[in-house]
Structure 1
Amino acid sequence: MEHYIYHVNPDKESKLFFQLWQPSAKPKAVICLVHGIGEHSSRYHEWAELFVEKNIAVVSYDQRGHGLSDGKRGVIPSYEILMDDIDFALKEVKKHFEDTPCFLYGHSMGGGEVLNHLITRKSNYLGVISTSPWIVTQEAPPKIVIPFLRTLSNLFPYISIKTSFDAKRLSHIEQVCIKYNEDELIHHMVSFRLFIDAYDAGYRVLKNPDKVKKPLLLLHGTDDQITDPNASKTFSEGVVNRCTYIQYNKAYHELHNEFCRLDVFVDIINWIETQLAENK
């Protein structure tokens, strides 16, 4: 396996930290991976290695305001900029793997982002993988509060607040939770704009299953305490003939770090193999 890290400018003001994992031989596919809120791409190192063993390359980056990328923690200029960053990441994929079939993969907030990208942007990836997506959060504020938060988002878009978070909700595996708490690159900051934009983006996804025009693999744990598996199920049922939806009984939020992780990995690999076979 070869592993590369580098910074690159998507615009004049910002640098994003990128990582690339690739097999020694020419890969049969490449995954563009978008991480969740508060975390960073290095948390997926072991997960990426599994794909490399199956001759699949992985390209990922730290989102703005996260990890080793520029930006105030938990602050975004706008959700559309996050969509632009995905476009930029896909260009990076093509730069390294010009003729290799690509899949867009997002987890949690990243899972919501890739769903939004799927329904609002054009791209040449073969399909999308979304795990535990932020469509609806389990602890979303009452709808009566949203107009107030929307006002704060307009008045103070770049002010962020620290949220409380129990890492035990990520996984049943204790070591995963311990490592998360000890990770110095993890943060728990969320700006009013980030929350409102992601909140709106989730409901945009929920209302537009008919706009899914490419194959979609949607995965969620039934006991996720962070994002709502029922929202994923409802969305999947509205996608005609293009969505494969799999639930994992008793699993928490981070399916790639859960007791069922190998089952999740096999399901992803099998789905990718199916898409590759159908697009020969």
Structure 2
Amino acid sequence: MAESREHTFTGARGANTVREWPLDLPRYIAILVHGYGEHIGRYEYVADRLVRHGAAVYGLDHMGHGKSEGDRALVEDFEDVVTDVHAVEERARAGHPGVPVVVIGHSMGGMIAARYAQRYGDGLAALVLSGPVIGEWEIVPALLAYEEPPDTPIDPATLSRDLSVGAAYAEDPLVWHGPFKRATLEAFATTLAEITKSGPLGPLPTLWVHGDDDELVPLAGSRPGIEAIRGTDLTERIYPGARHEVFNETNKDEVLDDVTTFIDRTLPR
């Protein structure tokens, strides 16, 4: 696996930990945006593929996640998370002036990445959304119907057909295994509505990858969100039988081949 290093910076709501997988003279910068309750350390395989493809890779643990500060899995305003990701992009650009930037977001990270593209897309070469929480995520209104959201633990088997992925997730001390915080659910609802309202991404090349057996973020719920933001350059890849974490699926190399092929198309020649 590619070597990595960590540093911290003061984010919108405290100290955030960033991991970098460096590469001298990269063809592009890849910024990874992780999902709810997890952390950027779960993306070693993805980062390694991208480094071998010519990328310098960066990703932070969001506030309240992984090694970053904050109450666990508490996000009161996702605009703050978008701002934190932008700080990572600025650091990456300072180290590699003039190098194209690609943002890759998974699940909740796909929602953050979509909003990021609406705010900062003019500076991006491409956007990749993996199983994105976008459009209609049924768990949000269902849990907000309760004054105190019930604990609805993720079934690790829904992550991937490779059951070792779910087992590692269940045993990972940096993964949040507790219930949703009400404030986080409210922030999800606000951001999903804001993304839909803010509209298309224009000419930004966008790749949407999703498993058709995704029970955590069902395909049917994400599609309306994709339609709301789709610009003039959208590529869609739906993988039969794949579950939520397509980057950790049994066909993960096929998925990452699709990602790198897409990125090749978008980079300046």
| 2:106 equivalent in structure 1 | 107
User: How is 1:42-191 mapped onto 2 (pairs within 5 angstroms)?
Assistant: 42-121=41-120, 123-135=122-134, 136-142=136-142, 146=144, 162-189=151-178, 190-191=180-181
In 2, distance between residues paired with 1:140 and 1:180?
22
**What is the Cα deviation at residue 237 of structure 1?**
4.2
Over residues 223-280 of structure 1, what are the superposed CA-to-partner deviations in whole Å (9 max), with x where a residue is unaligned? 100112123333444524221111111100000100121111011001100001xx34
Q: Secondary structure at the match of 1:52?
A: helix
In 1, distance between residues paired with 2:258 and 2:266?
12
**What is the Cα deviation at residue 125 of structure 1?**
1.6
Over residues 75-124 of structure 1, what are the superposed CA-to-partner deviations in whole Å (9 max), with x where a residue is unaligned? 12412211211211211211222221110111000111111122244551
Distance 1:98 1:27, change over 3 A: same
In 2, distance between residues paired with 1:169 and 1:116?
26
Verify the 8 A CA contact 1:162 1:188 in the aligned structure 2: no
In 2, distance between residues paired with 1:162 and 1:212?
39
In 2, distance between residues paired with 1:82 and 1:242?
26
In 2, distance between residues paired with 1:213 and 1:17?
32
In 1, distance between residues paired with 2:101 and 2:173?
31
Structure 2 length-normalised TM: 0.90
The answer for unaligned runs of 5 or more in structure 2 is: none
Verify the 8 A CA contact 1:222 1:251 in the aligned structure 2: yes
Over residues 8-57 of structure 1, what are the superposed CA-to-partner deviations in whole Å (9 max), with x where a residue is unaligned? 2125x51111111123x411011111100000000111221111111212
Q: Secondary structure at the match of 2:247?
A: helix
Q: Which moved more, 1:33-42 or 1:222-231?
A: 222-231
2:177 paired with 1:192: no
Distance 1:265 1:230, change over 3 A: same
2:219 paired with 1:233: no
Matched AA of 1:201: T
Distance 1:255 1:138, change over 3 A: farther
The correspondence for 1:257, drawn from 245, 248, 267, is 248
C-alpha root-mean-square deviation of aligned residues, in Å?
A: 2.2
Q: Secondary structure at the match of 1:259?
A: coil
| 1:155 equivalent in structure 2 | none
In 1, distance between residues paired with 2:213 and 2:89?
32
In 2, distance between residues paired with 1:162 and 1:91?
37
2:264 paired with 1:273: yes
Q: Secondary structure at the match of 2:123?
A: coil
% identical aligned pairs = 25
| 1:3 equivalent in structure 2 | 4
Matched AA of 2:189: Y
Give aligned pairs, total.
265
Matched AA of 1:53: R
Distance 1:38 1:114, change over 3 A: same
